[in-house]
Amino acid sequence: MPLFSVYAPDYTDEDAINRRLAARTAHLAKAAGNPSMKIGGAMLTPNEALDSPDASKKMAGSFMIWECENYAAAIKMLEEDPYWSGNVWDKEKTVIRPWVSPVPL
């Protein structure tokens, strides 16, 4: 089956982190029970925080690799995620693209 990369940045309004935290348990449970989820996790900001262990880090979105029958199935999976319905991920900036890997996932 085809693989898809999903880049889903969070909205950046003041209440975005509260919506993320409110939907987090449901989002993680859905991901854990989904065999189509090959890998996924939170993107952090700022990038400089990676070079400084004491720097403040916050979640700024998600990146995932999904295995789906087709693009329509990937869209459906996205729209059924609690982060999507909970207005955590920025619907205008989220991107799904076909993805290939040189090694099996």
Residue 86 neighbours by CB distance under 10 Å: 15
pLDDT at 36 over 70: yes
Tell whether pTM > 0.85. yes
* All structural domains of the chain with their residue ranges: 3-99
Indicate the fold that domain 3-99 takes in CATH: Alpha-Beta Plaits (3.30.70)
The pLDDT of 5-31, averaged and rounded, is 96
pLDDT band at 12 (very low <50, low <70, confident <90, very high): very high
- The helix (run of H) or strand (run of E) holding residue 37 is strand 37-45
